[in-house]
Structures are given as structure tokens and as C-alpha cells.
Structure 1
């Protein structure tokens, strides 16, 4: 009988069998050549202690190996989920981040907007328009792993949307399509997906939908957050976020942004080199 994979502990406390193929796929998706991905996966697998090793331990080991072997851009892409969580703790940089992604997709975007409803005004994280489409986005941010976005979120957002939509219709809004979106950096619960789908909402989360979640939107567009760059210290990342600078691409396109937080010419060159590789520019 084949030997069973060891038990590992997930961020939410669940105990599951270690899935070697999942780690391997994650590394390859981050840009690691197959040989490198196999090597890192072998090392991580050999360090797992049955029933004690956590998913965080696995991530930390794999990330550390990539950095040690000087594969910094791959390490940066591999750390994407953690990097998005580092946009906190308030969640406002995440709203800006989602706004920037939508801008790159051709939307006109406003972040943190008070929108009048039929009954009461509502604060909407991101309002985006393109052609005849009017999108109202709830950017649901979590800065801790293991937390899922449950059904209470689409229940509330759909109710809010109906109030907004009724007011828009009453006042003769010219957009033919109004759509409520929920974008989160974590997973949705099954009931949240079922309700959102039933009500015609657009849900975008980590690895959801299967055709491409938030990680796919980021990777395909090369819109990685500055928090994924290993060449920046945490203090430097926080200074950039405080200035509403959230995209690696911004650092490549406008070098003066790095000067504005006090980086030396040498350090700017190092950061820009990594940012270009991470964003495939």
C-alpha cells in the first residue's frame, strides 16, 4: 500500500494531507522552471513533520529557498497572496489596488464614493464605468489567512445595490447595465458563491472563478502590488502605501516615486530591476 502524504495544518486550523502537486503548480505558476519547482518541492516535502507543519511553514520554506537561490522575481510572484494581505490593515490600499486594476482594464474609476440610494446614501469602495456598464464594487479585504468571505457579505451588498439601483432608475441614469461586484483577496464560502450566482452578482476571489480569480487578473496584467517586492523593506513599502502608490508597475513607469520615499539611486535601480521582472515588463 502506497505511503500516505503527511498531515499538515491549514491557516483555519483544518488538518489535511499535504498535496505535493499543489505546491508544484503554485511554483510553476509563479514562473519557476520545472527543474527549480521540483527542487524546491522536494526540499519542502522532506522538511514536513506529520501533524505539526503548517501551510505557513511550507510557504516560508519555499519562499526562503527561492530568495536564497537568488530567484527574487519568482519569490515575489510566489508571495502574491501574502503581499496582498500586507496592503492592510485598513483595507483602503486594497480598494485603491482594485481601482488601479480596473483602470488598466479601461474603466473610469472612483474610489471611496458616497452613492445615493432610494432610501439612504451608501459608501461604495469602487465605482467603475465603461461604455454602458456601471459597476459597484465591494472590496472585501482580509489581512489574516484562513478567513473566508461568507454569505452575509453578498446578502448585504445585494441589498445595498438594489437601493442604489432604484435611485438610479428613478433619476434616469443612462447606463444600461448596473452590476454589483464583490472582490476579495481570500476564498468565498460555498453559500456565498451560491447566493451571489443566484442573484446575478460578479464574485472575484482567490482562485475564484475557476476561469481566473483575482490572482489571474493580477498576473495576466502584470499589476503586482509593491508589497511583493523583496528588495523593499517593510518601512519602505509602508511609505509607498501611505502615498497611495500600490503597483510595482508605477515604480517602473515613474522612478521619482522611489525618490520621494528617500531611496538612493543605487537602491532605486535594484528595486526597478526586480519590479520589471515581476511585472514582465
Structure 2
């Protein structure tokens, strides 16, 4: 059976790959097997991976919202766009969870020119700049030109002290973080140049997906009990993470949810953040 990937490439349907992605949602093996069998009866020659994903998501949601929410994680990260502003705030939350101090949306003067900085971090007196490369398309990749360009900005900024955090400080480290992936050349160049990379699947095992699961850093955009417009309203209120809702249910009332819907959202949020 041939299926069509997001990129347009035609490949063989791999039920084992689908099974593994469903198991990663936290769903029981028997539930996963039932979903897999149901999908096998519905797929056809030339079906898109997007349609298969929709089937799997709908079937998971019938079993448990929080399993579907976790299965929806990569799409949820993509929904932190379209400009990537909320993705930058999300990445700052990620560093916060690892006990870094963070600052966002800054403009700093380098030796030669000024630079807009997505996130600055500080830990153990070491300050790092973080460049966030957000992609709307699932198959887009950050190629070698990205670390080459960011290295030049980093070098320019290293030449000066900056009035950041609690005084005059120098930036000594650089991160490049993307919601998708890096090409092999980008990884090779970054390693050679001393740049730190983080993507959906790099580095192994401490990649973006692993960090999210280990620290329950699920974005509100993955919740199945909220509409897209309601998720956008929460982001505007600076509610970025699901676990921020658990102790801040007032934000759900602010965006117009009924008492009953607030209960449903909080149940999904609580289940998602404690299921492991």
C-alpha cells in the first residue's frame, strides 16, 4: 500500500511506525492495537499521511483526550506560530524549567550592528543567546546557512558587554533551536563552531520532544478540549503551558468558557501532566 507524505514523497505504508507513534501517546497496547486495526480497514492507495494522522487522532480522542493531546504534540508546537513569537516564549519557558534565568525579545548592540535576540539565558554566571528558528511546514529543515549566519551574529555580540540581567555582562554561549530538524551539514558545522543545537529529534536522547515529556512542558495548543481561537486567546494572556492552567483556572473564565467546560479542560490538563 502506497501513501503520500507531507513532502509529496510516495512511500510504503508502515503500520509499525504508526503503532510506535500511537504508543508514545501513552495509550495502552490493546487500545493502540484496536486503533491500528481500525485504520487498516479505512486506508486506501494514495492516502496522505495527514489523513492517517487525523484518523488516529480522532480514534485516540474517543479513548482519552490526554492521549490525543500528547499524540498531537508536534502539531501543537507548530500552532505556536505563525510568526513564531509564541514559540520564542515557549522556549524561554523550557529554559525556566531547567532553572535558568531568561529574558526575551531584546535588541542588543554588537561591535558592528544591532541584533534582535529571541531569548537570553543565564545560569552559573554563563549567559547565552538563543535563536529560535520556527517553521510552519512540517518538512522544512534548518540547513547549514542558519548556523553560519547565527555564528556571525554571535561573534559580533561577543565583542561587547551588555546591560543585561543585573549588570554589564558578556554573552559566551549560543543556542539555535527549531521546532523541526537540522540538516546533517548544519549539525556538523554547529559542532565544529561550538554552537548548541536543539530540535524535535536532536540531540539524542535529550531532544526537544524528550525535554517536553520529561518536564511536562506541553503547550496549551495541544489540548483537545479547546478550540483554536480559545488557544490563541490563552497565548495572548501569556498562558503558554498546560500546567500553568492547573493553578490558573481564572484564565479559562476570562476567555469565555462555561463552568462545565472549565472542568473538562482542567481534567485534560491534569491527566496530561501526571500520566507518566
Q: Give a deviation string over 1:221-242, Cα, whole Å, max 9, x none.
A: 0010111111111121111112
Cα distance in 1, alignment partners of residues 9 and 131 from structure 2: 28
Report the equivalent of 2:250: 256
| Aligned length, in residue pairs | 271
Cα distance in 1, alignment partners of residues 196 and 38 from structure 2: 39
Alignment partner of 1:223 is 2:226: no
Cα distance in 2, alignment partners of residues 263 and 64 from structure 1: 23
Deviation at 1:173, TM superposition (A): 6.1
Deviation at 1:74, TM superposition (A): 0.3
Cα distance in 1, alignment partners of residues 252 and 125 from structure 2: 38
Report the equivalent of 1:189: 183
Corresponding residue SS for 1:269: helix
Cα distance in 1, alignment partners of residues 157 and 58 from structure 2: 47
Alignment partner of 1:119 is 2:91: no
Corresponding residue SS for 2:136: coil
Contact 1:10 1:146 in 2 (8 A): no
Report the equivalent of 1:232: 226
Cα distance in 1, alignment partners of residues 202 and 35 from structure 2: 26
| 1:53-132 to 2 correspondences below 5 Å | 53-69=47-63, 71-132=64-125
Match of 1:161 among 151, 154, 160: 154
Pairwise CA RMSD: 1.8
Cα distance in 2, alignment partners of residues 274 and 196 from structure 1: 39
TM-score (norm 2): 0.92
Cα distance in 2, alignment partners of residues 191 and 17 from structure 1: 28
Q: Give a deviation string over 1:28-76, Cα, whole Å, max 9, x none.
A: 11111111122222222343323x122211211100111123x110000
Alignment partner of 1:212 is 2:194: no
Stretches of 4+ aligned residues off by more than 6 angstroms: none
Q: Which moved more, 1:72-81 or 1:34-43?
A: 34-43
Gaps of 5+ in 1: 1-5
Deviation at 1:212, TM superposition (A): 2.7
Report the equivalent of 2:43: 48
Cα distance in 2, alignment partners of residues 187 and 43 from structure 1: 31
Report the equivalent of 1:3: none
TM-score (norm 1): 0.91
Match of 2:195 among 201, 215, 219: 201
